[in-house]
Amino acid sequence: MTYNIGFIGYKFMSRAHANALNKLAMFFSDAPDIERHVIVGRNEPALSKAAKTLGFAHTATDWVDALDEVDILYNLTPNSVHAEPSIAALERDIPVMCEKPLAPTLDGAEAMADAAADSDATAATAFNYRYIPAIQYAQNLVQAGELGEIHQVRGRYLQDWLVDPDAPWSWRNSEKLAGTGAIGDLGAHTIDLTDFLVGDRVGAFDRVSGHLQTFVEERPIEGDGETRQVTVDDAYTAQVEFESGAIGTFEASRFATGHKNDHSIAVYGSDGAIRFSLERLNELEFNGPDTRGFETILVTDPDDPYYDHWWPPGHVIGWEHTFVHENYEFLSAVESGEDYHPDFADGLAVQRVLDAIQRSDESGAWVDVP
């Protein structure tokens, strides 16, 4: 079977996923057959250009009509548009890949997760960093007990693209369109990675204490001469206690000068530790009983996760390849009918943590995660 793919949205994330789909058959011989069928957007000239660039055969300006033409829907829109099209597709049992965070609000995420639970279709939350070979390697170490009892997790996601107060306003600065700022856009990734790496060792997030901060209150509208209010956070920090009694510290910022895309996570256990940074995504630092401090493992060997599909040892891959792996796993799950993770339930679990951190910031107290 050839699956007709539909995209809603044609900008940053659409380019990332379209590039991944373009590479699937070249590197994954058993990947399902797909056709980039229709791409949906409101600006017809820009949409037409995007269709040619991204390899889609057709365009549409109404996602409702597009659902009649697709076998699989990719919802790659701003967060405020995640719920309605995704729920409508799932009610038709059309598989959905939805970008993260799942929704701007906890209520929206709950509605999406309920729709997924009631549907026979696969519903995926797009946490692509689970599919970095070094992260998969790290999870294997944790699952094998190489770190012993997990005591502490430290996660951060640092960028600096908003340091300049004259950087233009975008939908990511709007509570209505995005829901949150750095905490949802960046922190969601760290929370999901924590669950992926150690969730079955430390249990769920039990309670949190969080702080959110907005540094620039308004930004210029590009080409307009006017300004618009910033209604989301620019940075957050949080302390976490897990059900096991393990603890965590988390932060994300769009104001971390000198950091372009530094998503880092470290896990410390009774017998060892791991450290990872997205800016060196082919490497994993490991400390164990037989190492003298941390040693760096270059995760590029043929027996490392996914590397039998790529290049000879030492020939590294990059950020874009995480989307290839993610799409391969998602589409393979659609074809086989097997479970896929992270699904909408996983996305909802992340949203509950995000919501609890926000409520903690508002109350100034520790908050339980439901």
Residue type, 337: G
2-127: CATH number: 3.40.50.720
User: Quick check: 225 pLDDT over 90?
Assistant: no
The CA-to-CA distance between both ends of the chain, in Å, stands at: 41
Q: What are the residues facing 262 on neighbouring strands?
A: 158
For residue 62, what pLDDT band results from cuts at 50, 70 and 90? very high
Residue type, 180: T
User: Quick check: 96 pLDDT over 90?
Assistant: yes
Helix axes 133-143, 188-202, angle to 10 degrees: 20
- % of the chain exceeding 90 in pLDDT: 99
For residue 118, what pLDDT band results from cuts at 50, 70 and 90? very high
Residue found by looking up tokens 């170490």 in the block = 141
Residue found by looking up tokens 């991204």 in the block = 54
Residue found by looking up tokens 């038709």 in the block = 92
At CB < 8 A and 24+ separation, what contacts does 23-28 make? Answer: 23/324, 24/324, 24/327, 24/328, 24/331, 27/309, 27/310, 27/324, 28/309, 28/324, 28/328
Please give the structure tokens belonging to residue 130.
Answer: 């689970």
Please tell me the predicted confidence (pLDDT) of residue 142.
97
Q: What are the residues facing 284 on neighbouring strands?
A: 297
pTM listed for this prediction: 0.96
- Distances from the Cα of 42 to the Cαs of 9, 39, 72, 176, in angstroms? 9, 10, 20, 19
User: Quick check: 135 pLDDT over 90?
Assistant: yes
Please give the structure tokens belonging to residue 45.
Answer: 């000239």
For residue 149, what pLDDT band results from cuts at 50, 70 and 90? very high
For residue 224, what pLDDT band results from cuts at 50, 70 and 90? confident
Tens digits of residue pLDDT in 249-270: 999 999 999 999 999 999 999 9
Mean pLDDT of 17-45: 97
User: Quick check: 325 pLDDT over 90?
Assistant: yes
Contact yes or no for 180/79 (Cβ under 8 A): no
Please tell me the predicted confidence (pLDDT) of residue 252.
98
For 108-130, letters b (16+ CB in 10 Å) and e give: bbbbbbebbeebebbbbbbbbbb
Mean pLDDT across the chain: 97
Mean pLDDT of 216-235: 94
Tens digits of residue pLDDT in 161-211: 999 999 999 999 999 999 999 999 999 999 999 999 999 999 999 999 999
User: Quick check: 51 pLDDT over 90?
Assistant: yes
For residue 72, what pLDDT band results from cuts at 50, 70 and 90? very high
**Checking DSSP bridges between strand 235-242 and strand 247-253, what pairing results, if any?**
antiparallel
Distance between CA atoms of residues 146 and 26, nearest Å:
35
Contact yes or no for 276/264 (Cβ under 8 A): yes
Mean pLDDT of 235-246: 98
Please tell me the predicted confidence (pLDDT) of residue 71.
98
Contact yes or no for 279/262 (Cβ under 8 A): yes
Contact yes or no for 108/241 (Cβ under 8 A): no
Among residues 122, 87, 99, 64, the alpha carbon closest in space to that of 336 is found at 122
User: Quick check: 223 pLDDT over 90?
Assistant: no
130-368: CATH number: 3.30.360.10
**Checking DSSP bridges between strand 123-126 and strand 96-99, what pairing results, if any?**
parallel
Please count the residues of the chain: 370
Distance between CA atoms of residues 65 and 309, nearest Å:
37
Among residues 324, 353, 341, the alpha carbon closest in space to that of 123 is found at 341
3 state SS of 60: strand
Instruction: Provide the total of helices (H) and of strands (E) in the chain, helices listed first.
Output: 11, 17
- Residue 12, H or E segment: helix 12-27
Domain spans, the chain: 2-127, 130-368
